[in-house]
Amino acid sequence: MTAAPQRNGSLRRLRKRAQFLSAAKGRRAGRSAFSLQAQAADDAQPGLGFTVTKKVGNAPQRNRIKRRLRAAARACEARFQPQHDYVLVGRREALTEPFAKVVADLSSAIAKVHATPRDAGT
């Protein structure tokens, strides 16, 4: 079985549990609608995965959260850095937050996970 062809400039999709666990070991940035986890990876294209636990709601609610987070990730696609894997863990607030705030929060979370410790103190 061959992998699906990737579009130029698009994000690679994380599909295997090991990729999610690897990203969970990296840096984190929490926001009201989601938590972002990031870890350096071998692949040149940035990888992105989404997860929402059953505690958050029923299947339609979880799927709607993932759709909103995917749309926010597309809006921030240029900010994801090569050779990194990212996991967005959705929270219930993602359903009610204004979409513009979710995008702004994602942009700031990406900056936070890539900030050096010296940058974080200023």
3 state DSSP class of 16: coil
How large a percentage of the chain has pLDDT more than 70? 89
**6 confidence band (pLDDT: 50, 70, 90):** very low
Radius of gyration of the chain (CA): 14
Contact 33, 72 (CB under 8 A): no
Contact yes or no for 78/10 (Cβ under 8 A)? no
CB-CB contact of 47 with 81 (8 Å): no
pLDDT single digits (tens) 71-117: 999 998 889 888 899 999 999 999 999 999 999 999 999 999 888 77
Task: Provide the whole-model pTM.
Answer: 0.83
Please tell me the class of the 12-115 domain: alpha beta
Q: Under DSSP, is residue 46 helix (H, G, I), strand (E, B) or coil?
A: coil
Six-digit token string for 50: 């989404």
* β 27-30/84-90 pair status: unpaired
pLDDT greater than 80 at residue 4: no
